[in-house]
Amino acid sequence: MTQEQMNQKTAEMGCKRMYRPIWEQEAQTITLKTRKPAVIVEGLLKGTGIDIYDDSTFRIWTPQVKKAKAYARTHNLKIRNMTGECDLFVPGNLADEILPKFGAKRKQVITPERLKAMKQRGQKLCNVKSLPQNPD
């Protein structure tokens, strides 16, 4: 699956922001990049995993149980508690609000004005003189 197809899928689910999806070949699912990826260390979950559960729902697998319970309570979301971790099921229309709170990385869209400014800064950095050289 290509990046464009994965971005289109998240947009169809109701996301307005663009996230950084990854196609998991083994599981045949789309996961989102997070700041701290989910890793099991000595039997405990460290980090967060976010994937597409069904056509309109994201699943957040996290050890931040209190935070997940608070969001589940305020937005009437489904939550599955386990020992020291939980699964929070987030509908697509709430994804833009909740996913970044659990570490989902967003794609940065570079506008032409921003690109021009970046190029100007790069040119200025190239034109700056470095340390004086030794005359040998």
- The phi, psi pair for 98, rounded to 5°, reads -95, -40
Q: What is the reported pTM? A: 0.76
Query: Which residue ranges make up each domain of the chain?
Result: 3-124
Asked if pLDDT for residue 49 goes beyond 50, the answer is yes
The pLDDT tens digits for 63-84 are: 999 999 999 999 999 999 998 8
**What pLDDT is stored for residue 46 in this prediction?**
93
Q: Smallest Cα–Cα separation from 53: which of 31, 73, 37?
A: 31
The answer to whether 30 and 23 have CB atoms below 8 angstroms apart is yes
The answer to whether 20 and 8 have CB atoms below 8 angstroms apart is no
Asked if pLDDT for residue 87 goes beyond 90, the answer is yes
The pLDDT tens digits for 17-30 are: 888 899 988 888 89
